[in-house]
Amino acid sequence: MKVRLNKYLASCGLGSRRKVEELILAGKISINGAGVNDLALQVDDNKDLITCEGKPVKSEPQKLYLLLNKPAGYLVTKSDEFDRKTVYKLLPDFAQQCVPAGRLDKDTEGLLLLTNDGDVVQALTHPTKKVEKVYRVQVNSPLTHSQVEELRSGVMVEGYKTRSAGVYIKHNETGNTVLKVVIKEGKKRQIRLMLEAVGRKVLHLKRMQIGEIELGKLPVGMWRLCSGREMSYLRSLTRKTV
């Protein structure tokens, strides 16, 4: 699709509209090897080679940030050799190139954030950034005070000790023992293994929050684009990592 040259150059990060117009008028922009100075010129970056002082310029794809309320039974992967259901079957066509910022296992439900912004994925998943993830966990029997304290201080899981975690009892009755668990790391099946380490089995696991991003009332199996406030928060995480 054709767009005005000044708009295209601005989308490539060469500066404001006024700045890129100065570049055009100064003869620093070429299209298909020929210098141009027409501010109203239309270009198609799929067909035209646009350069600035001899260096190719290319617009970046639009940044996308989506939230999905993942149902149980779906894999967080693009495809599966056994043709099992994947979360990408729940996403629109324009989001098929997005990647998850942290995974959930097949049987876990809840908040999954997907984006094509690699900096945001790095900020949300790298353990040194310590972004909190909040889960609602139902287990098969009540926890004692000592078991809760053990989980909070860290337990041995597959050869490593988990970091300190927030563990809060919401209900503590046989058949209805529900916990709120807050962790700042994301090892594979971490919460299930943590509970197994203190002799309990997870019956139901749902991620409710990632940092300041909340699942809210998003229906199971549905997705939505992040709000302006949520996008500002995600981008603020990347600024802190520079």
Entry field: residues in the chain: 242
Read off the DSSP letter of residue 127.
Answer: G
Partnered with residue 176 across adjacent β-strands are 173
Nearest Cα neighbor of 210 from 173, 185, 177 is 185
How big is the CA angle at 93 (ends 90 and 97), to the nearest 5 degrees? 95
The active-site residue, picked from 45, 48, 105, 119, is: 105
Annotation says 80 is catalytic = no
**Are 66 and 115 contacting, i.e. CB atoms less than 8 angstroms apart?**
yes
The residues that are catalytic are 105
